[in-house]
């Protein structure tokens, strides 16, 4: 055993000297099975597309399925750090899984690049120099929706979200910039699929608009039932409920709905045009918000690899922080707490041929940073 | 709070209840007659919804989609009974739970493998969309009203089947004494397959009806399955009548609890904490109902001794 270990050590040492730059090993833990699999698959596909396009041989990616379970994610992270010896972890979709994995990962000196979840804890007091969020802080898209409501002259919103931390963050985020009155505020059950009772209350409340954060199947159910209720006051939501993967299941009920997003496929910049075309070519479907985030994450990582060795933590950290890559969102930079400062747009759901998709109709917030940066002592 | 809003919520509760009944009826029959805990019942609900969505996408007909959901779920149920469930009747409940839990995983990943990871599209047909005005000026979605009527019609049909047909006599006999009806020359194996397929068909039908106003996605059956178990425990295991009463009780408690409790709490606390407390308590309300029923009737409302 000793012999083998020694031999391996020498071999590794030799290859490290022989190679031009050091290899980087990335562990991707994401959701690839069960109800939330569509999101994880999009992140993975976007990430791997960027890796494939770059055609580098100094980057190795290990992908595992967390089944949307925090305990599984923690086990996978331990395995990847201890036996796979990864340098960087990424991939987690859900905030509760992120909270379980990220603090332990960065405490062991590894880097974590978040392609999706951005819980407020990790943006504020729990921020860490090795943790970078490439998507958004959880509140961002909701804040943008509140700002949009002001500019659209909506003054009496009825707001609803599921009763769990991200749902409470969502309504807090909306109220942070929204200046009008609230016709009502409801916390629904997480995973609820029938909204007849809520829709009846909205009808009775005399609201002039609805803001809802109901990710995944909950949003599909709500929109279909709302369309069937005969009401027609404007509906606003974050991009999560109007994503490319979900829209086809909602169908006509989503047409005309306004939603806020930091990315859309019609954003006019060279990186995005190339990304949208290449993604369709590779996977034969339109890219989603999540795919764009996965793609940006991979490009950020590779931009840092060009500048520094991953073993030189200080230099690699500085290279990541510089965010010197062509983001598909256009301008992109990190704030003091390693969370994005970026524009957030308003999109409208339209139909292109047979496919439901989004188009950008305006900018809700420019160079928007999150509200927790002050609490971060980095 | 107006009377109109309250009546609308009662209708919503009723509609939720009759759909729960379709799920619970099969579950209670299978448990009552065969003594089997079938966790995979939610998967059959999902099979029905996916079959309906695929058929509707291919043919554009909602009626055909409903037929497809019945056929597909019944076929899936019969197949599962013949290949897996049949070997579990003599095992204890823990083995049954383990095996049917494995079936959930197989159905979920199998469905994802066939239909992909994204939710499917199924919509209310034009002739059932929109809302109608009921006496008293209550505007209510036509489709939900139709669901209530269909659910009640299926309940009536099921009672007639059990009370007045030869099959029904055998089912009731199977519930009281399994060995004896076997000794009397009834083909028990075939009876079991039939009951399982019937239960599966009802679950699949519910999946298709609900799929039109909700999201047709992998894993859609499991939350409903838990509620269906609550229903049959409240109603008494093995009793169809109990399943109906239990389902409507659960439907009304859940809907009216979520609507009334936060309002009740605003009487003595401020709005936002009343909202939080109210919704938290409302989420527990059906389980409190179950605990209350079990306290006074340990075998459920219509359960045998």
More confident residue, B133 or A305: A305
Inside any domain, residue B302: no
Q: Please report residues of A whose CB lies closer than 8 A to that of B12.
A: 194, 196-197, 200
Asked if B215 lies within 8 A of A194 by C-beta distance, the reply is: no
Tell me the average pLDDT across B24-29. Answer: 91
pLDDT > 50? residue B118 = yes
Q: How far is it, in rounded angstroms, from Cα B300 to Cα A143?
A: 49
Domains in chain B, number: 1
Residue B223 sits in a domain whose CATH number is 1.10.3470
Mean pLDDT, range B152-166, rounded to an integer: 92
- Cα–Cα–Cα angle for A176, A178, A179, rounded to 5 degrees: 115
pLDDT of B305: 61
Question: Cα separation of B301 and B290, whole Å?
Answer: 10
Which residues does chain A have with pLDDT short of 50? Answer: 1-4, 6-20
Specify if B105 maps to a domain. Answer: yes
Among B174, B177, B200, B201, which residue's Cα sits nearest to residue B188?
B174
Strand order in the sheet with A88-90: A59-65, A24-30, A88-90, A111-114, A131-133
Question: What is the pLDDT, as a whole number, of residue A1?
Answer: 43
Mutation site for B-interface testing, chosen from A36, A67, A228 by largest number of B Cβ within 10 Å: A228
Q: Establish if B200 belongs to a structural domain.
A: yes
Structural domains in chain A, CATH included, are 2-138+267-342 (3.40.50.2300), 140-265+344-375 (3.40.50.2300)
Q: How far apart are CA A22 and CA A13, in angstroms?
A: 11
Q: Give the β-pairing of A355-368 and A340-352.
A: antiparallel
Q: Is residue B305 part of a domain?
A: no
Count of beta carbons in the 10 Å neighbourhood of residue A83: 8
Q: Is B138 helix (H, G, I), strand (E, B) or coil?
A: strand
List, in order, residues 6 or more apart from B81 with CB less than 8 Å away: B192, B193, B196, B197
Q: Is residue B301 part of a domain?
A: no
Predicted local confidence at residue B50, as pLDDT = 96
- The per-residue pLDDT for range B179-232, each reduced to its tens digit, is 888 888 888 888 899 999 999 999 999 999 999 988 898 888 988 999 999 999
pLDDT of residue A17: 43
Rounded-to-integer distance, Cα B71 and Cα B198, Å: 10
pLDDT at B103: 95
Give me the total of CB pairs closer than 8 Å, taking one residue from chain A and one from chain B: 120
- pLDDT of A35 reads 66
Task: Quote the CA–CA distance of B224 and A193 in Å, as a whole number.
Answer: 10
Q: Is residue B119 part of a domain?
A: yes
Domain membership of residue B22 (yes or no) is yes
List of chain B residues whose C-beta atoms are within 8 Å of the C-beta of residue A217: 119, 214-215, 217, 220
Residue B259, in any domain of the structure: yes
Whole-angstrom distance, CA of residue A69 vs CA of residue A92: 11
| ipTM metric | 0.78
Cα separation, B36 vs A184, whole angstroms: 46
Residues whose CB is less than 8 angstroms from the CB of residue A291 and which lie 6 or more positions away in sequence, other chains included: A42, A43, A45, A46, A49, A279
Q: Which residues of A193-202 are buried (b: 16+ CB within 10 A; e: fewer)?
A: bbbbbbbbbb
Would you place residue B258 in the very low, low, confident or very high pLDDT band (cuts 50, 70, 90)?
A: confident
Boundaries of domain holding B84:
3-296
Looking at chain B, the whole-number percentage of residues with pLDDT higher than 90 is: 54
Q: For residue B72, give both structure tokens.
A: 């597909």
Q: Name which of B109, B143, B258 is nearest A228 (Cβ-Cβ).
A: B143
Report helix, strand or coil for B195: helix
């Amino acid at each position: 055993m000793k012999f083998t270990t020694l031999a391996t050590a020498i071999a590794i040492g030799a290859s490290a000297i022989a190679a031009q730059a050091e290899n980087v090993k990335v562990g991707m833990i994401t959701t690839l099975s069960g109800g939330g699999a569509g999101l994880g698959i999009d992140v993975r596909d976007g990430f791997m597309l960027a890796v494939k396009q770059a055609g580098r041989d100094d980057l190795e990616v290990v992908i595992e399925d967390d089944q949307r379970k925090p305990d599984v994610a923690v086990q996978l992270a331990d395995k990847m750090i201890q036996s796979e010896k990864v340098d960087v972890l990424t991939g987690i979709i859900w905030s509760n899984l992120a909270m379980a994995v990220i603090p332990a990962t960065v405490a062991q000196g590894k880097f974590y690049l978040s392609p999706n979840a951005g819980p407020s804890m990790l943006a504020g007091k729990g921020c860490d120099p090795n943790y970078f969020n490439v998507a958004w802080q959880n509140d961002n898209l909701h804040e943008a929706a509140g700002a949009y409501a002001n500019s659209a002259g909506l003054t009496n919103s009825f707001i609803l979200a599921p009763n769990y931390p991200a749902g409470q963050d969502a309504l807090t985020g909306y109220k942070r910039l929204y200046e009008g009155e609230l016709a009502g505020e409801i916390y629904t059950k997480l995973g609820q699929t029938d909204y007849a009772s809520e829709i009846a209350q909205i009808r009775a409340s005399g609201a002039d608009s609805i803001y809802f954060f109901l990710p995944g199947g909950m949003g599909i159910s709500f929109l279909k039932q709302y369309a069937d209720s005969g009401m027609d006051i404007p509906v606003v939501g974050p991009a999560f409920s109007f994503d490319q993967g979900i829209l086809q299941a909602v169908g006509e009920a989503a047409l005309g709905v306004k939603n806020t997003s930091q990315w859309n496929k019609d954003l006019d910049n060279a990186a995005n045009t190339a990304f949208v075309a290449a993604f369709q070519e590779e996977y034969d479907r339109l890219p989603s918000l999540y795919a764009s985030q996965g793609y940006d994450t991979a490009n950020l990582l590779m931009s840092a690899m060009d500048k520094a060795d991953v073993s030189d933590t200080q230099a690699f950290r500085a290279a990541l922080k510089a965010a010197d890559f062509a983001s598909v969102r256009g301008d992109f930079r990190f704030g003091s707490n390693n969370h994005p400062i970026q524009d957030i747009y308003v999109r409208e759901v339209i139909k292109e041929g047979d496919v439901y998709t989004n188009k950008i109709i305006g900018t809700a917030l420019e160079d928007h940073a999150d509200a927790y940066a002050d609490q971060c002592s980095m | 709070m107006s009377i109109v809003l309250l009546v609308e919520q009662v209708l919503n509760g009723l509609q939720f209840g009759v759909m729960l009944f379709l799920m619970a009826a099969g579950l209670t029959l299978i448990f009552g007659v065969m003594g089997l805990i079938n966790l995979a019942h939610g998967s059959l609900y999902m099979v029905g919804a996916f079959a309906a969505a695929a058929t509707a996408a291919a043919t554009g007909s909602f009626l055909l989609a409903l037929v497809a959901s019945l056929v597909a779920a019944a076929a899936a149920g019969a197949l599962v009974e013949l290949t897996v469930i049949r070997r579990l009747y003599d095992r204890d409940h823990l083995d049954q739970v383990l095996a049917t839990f494995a079936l959930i995983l197989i159905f979920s990943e199998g469905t994802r493998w066939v239909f992909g990871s994204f939710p499917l599209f199924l919509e209310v047909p034009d002739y059932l969309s929109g809302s109608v005005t009921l006496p008293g000026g209550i505007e209510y979605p036509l489709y939900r009203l139709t669901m209530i009527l269909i659910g009640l019609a299926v309940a009536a049909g099921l009672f007639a089947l059990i009370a007045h047909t030869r099959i029904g006599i055998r089912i009731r006999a199977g519930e009281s004494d399994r060995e004896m009806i076997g000794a009397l020359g009834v083909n028990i194996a075939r009876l079991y397959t039939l009951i399982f397929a019937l239960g599966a068909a009802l679950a699949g039908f519910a999946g298709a009806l609900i799929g039109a106003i909700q999201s047709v996605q992998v894993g859609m059956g499991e939350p409903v399955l838990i509620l269906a178990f609550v229903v049959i425990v409240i109603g008494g295991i093995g009793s169809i009548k109990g399943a109906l009463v239990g389902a409507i009780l659960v439907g009304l408690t859940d809907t009216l609890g979520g609507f009334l409790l936060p309002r009740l709490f605003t009487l003595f606390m401020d709005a936002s904490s009343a909202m939080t407390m109210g919704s938290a308590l409302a989420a527990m309300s059906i389980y409190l109902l179950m605990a209350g029923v079990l306290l006074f009737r340990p075998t459920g409302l219509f359960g045998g001794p």
